[in-house]
Structure 1
Amino acid sequence: MRSFLSTASALLIVLVAVLTPLSALAVWVDREIGDTDSYVATMEPLASDSRVQNAVAVRITDEVKKRIDAYPFQESVESLVRDAVLSFAGTAAFKTVWNTVNRAAHTAVEDALAEGGDSAVSIDLAPVTERVKQQLADENVPFVDQIPVEHTRITILESGKLGTVRDVFHGLRIAGLWLPLATVLIAAGGVLLAVRRMRALVGLGLALAAGAVLLRIAVSVWRGLALDDLPPDVDRPAAAAVYDALTATLRTAAWWVLAAGLALALAAWLADRRRPARAARAARVARAA
């Protein structure tokens, strides 16, 4: 019986190591990616990121280059547009517009992850282009009336290339917050079934630490795969900034769980080592009495 309980306890604790990163991902999917306000709040700091600002400026300038024939002033007009976009990107108004376009894009991101399809998910930069066009018009820049406002977009996701990621997202979305709860119950069961509970707590702490390491590795691996699979016209530095912003809470969670797991393992190990000494002192006191 003791052998059976020890084996069952060990298996449950090992399972905790596997479920820990999945639980973190489930909470992330439910609370951050699945919630519009949280998604917009996560993307908001990118409005001040120079990589994103540069990508927006390049995209709008490229669209202007395709639509306007201002020879021999082509380069001057393009330079003015680019400078105007970068100037607008440093204002509070740009942050407001950035939040608005990301709120509109969130539904498309969810649909791409949940349902699939072969279309690209993009952010509509029309509100930014409209503000820049107005700014240039106020400065009496020539050819400004030819600047296109529609169809100026920046791709953030290729929905046709998600494959396994979509399946994982769908599964985690279904699991929701039940998966973290199940992980807690399994961890408690692993400790309660153990013959030597302090040692089980040491194992649980190490399992949590191992799960945190797995989560951190997964985030890094997915980052490389996501950036390597980007279309050639997507700005990689900006895409990296978006990915890092979206996964920032996962990286933070990994470090916290790692620290908590190691602290639990160390505390339980020290407590387990003190038990024989306490037992010996108690025996000496009993004999002396």
Structure 2
Amino acid sequence: MSASAPVRLRGRMREAERLPEPPRRQPVRALGACALLLIGSLLLPLSLATVWARSELTDTDRYVATVAPLAANHTVQDAIVHDVTNGVMTHIRLDGLLKAIPRAERAALLKRFTRGLREFVDKQVRQVVTGRSFPEVWTGVHRAAHRALDDSLTASGDAPVTLDLTPVLDRVRHQLAGNGLGIDIAHRIPRMGAEVVLLRSPDVPRARLAYRAVRTAAPLLPSAAAVCLLAGFLLARRRRRALICAGVGCAATAALLAAALDLLRARALDGLPAVIPRPAASAYADTLTGSLRDGVWLAIGAALATAAVAAIGPPAVRAARRLSPR
């Protein structure tokens, strides 16, 4: 009887020896499976980030729908009221109205009159910003800004990208013109619109390169990540262990992406000019990246659930079979 022929031991058949695989086959196979699983785990968060960036940068309707709820956000409304009121007050000169007042009394009267006028303008601007028609104005402003951004990133040149607040000022001018004292104020507001710079000219070339990289990578990275994970799982000899490792690895890399988002958010807010209110910028950043954060936490949950099922599932099934009555 040959050495590899089955023999009977305690009523069961087993092989006395197994034919060994080629000496280098098992290590190479294991290394290949580990490398594929590692690459797939690293590509997962990159896939999430590029798909999110591509959808927000290239789809105007999606972007507008994302930022639409900010029109009712109190911190954003307060920031708009503050900025627009400051813009209106810079074009109002009261010195000519106080010529008949003695010079010694002008400073105190001018300060008191300016404070009262600012409160009046602030109230009128707030009525515009909190009115029923403001969400439509907000949507129109951001739709125009996103189209300008898309045109700037897809064309040549380095013209800055701005957020044009002319529609808001038009509503404010109309509101002031219909409120007694506001008639003179409305005529003092210039017809030119106010603009907020979203992307400066020196930053446009770098943003264009990132935009093109995102558009190229977004369709490829998810497929590459899925192929690497599947190939690593099929190549592994111990597939249950491979599934556990893949789940833990994907959860870990997704958690690193979540931490990177928090770090980038903090640094971006710290780098903003002092004139931009931090609460409003925080609300905008959280709203814009909300879908990405949801995707990251969904990926973490799915990866951990997969690893848990792979680790607990087979032993639990075997234990249930042993305990079940025959």
Q: Root-mean-square deviation (CA), in Å?
A: 2.6
**Secondary structure of residue in 2 paired with 1:87:** helix
Is 1:138–2:178 an aligned residue pair? yes
Give deviations 1:154-200, integer Å, cap 9, x for gaps. 34444645897765443222112221111111111110111011111
Residue 38 of structure 1 deviates from its aligned partner by 0.4
Query: CA–CA distance in 2 between the matches of 1:119 and 1:230?
Result: 20
Partner of 2:15: none
Amino acid corresponding to residue 47 of structure 1 in structure 2 = A
Native 8 Å contact 1:227 1:236 kept in 2: yes
Change (3 A) 1:22 1:166: farther
Partner of 1:57: 81
* 1:220 paired residue among 239, 242, 262: 262
Native 8 Å contact 1:121 1:158 kept in 2: yes
* 2:128 paired residue among 88, 110, 126: 88
Is 1:205–2:247 an aligned residue pair? yes
Residue 225 of structure 1 deviates from its aligned partner by 2.0
Query: CA–CA distance in 2 between the matches of 1:7 and 1:272?
Result: 25
- Structure with greater helix percent: 1
Change (3 A) 1:112 1:50: farther
Partner of 2:100: none
**Secondary structure of residue in 2 paired with 1:7:** helix
Residue 78 of structure 1 deviates from its aligned partner by 2.2
Query: CA–CA distance in 1 between the matches of 2:263 and 2:206?
Result: 14
Partner of 2:30: 6
Gaps of 5+ in 1: none
Residue 261 of structure 1 deviates from its aligned partner by 0.5
Partner of 1:181: 223
Amino acid corresponding to residue 87 of structure 2 in structure 1 = E
Residue 116 of structure 1 deviates from its aligned partner by 9.2
Partner of 1:192: 234
* 1:150 paired residue among 188, 192, 208: 192
Which has the greater radius of gyration? 2
Amino acid corresponding to residue 57 of structure 2 in structure 1 = I
* 2:92 paired residue among 68, 77, 85: 68
Partner of 1:99: 139
Pairs aligned (count): 281
Query: CA–CA distance in 1 between the matches of 2:320 and 2:206?
Result: 53
**Secondary structure of residue in 1 paired with 2:133:** helix
Change (3 A) 1:85 1:48: same
Identity, % of aligned positions = 36
Native 8 Å contact 1:198 1:269 kept in 2: yes
**Secondary structure of residue in 1 paired with 2:193:** coil
* 1:122 paired residue among 162, 181, 186: 162
Native 8 Å contact 1:116 1:166 kept in 2: no
Moved more, 165-174 or 266-275: 165-174
Native 8 Å contact 1:6 1:194 kept in 2: yes
Native 8 Å contact 1:68 1:146 kept in 2: yes
Give deviations 1:27-67, integer Å, cap 9, x for gaps. 11222222000011111111111121122112111211221
Residue 149 of structure 1 deviates from its aligned partner by 4.1
* 2:65 paired residue among 41, 50, 53: 41
Is 1:20–2:60 an aligned residue pair? no
Is 1:253–2:295 an aligned residue pair? yes
Give deviations 1:174-233, integer Å, cap 9, x for gaps. 112221111111111110111011111111111220121022112111112211222333
Query: CA–CA distance in 2 between the matches of 1:66 and 1:32?
Result: 35
**Secondary structure of residue in 2 paired with 1:92:** coil
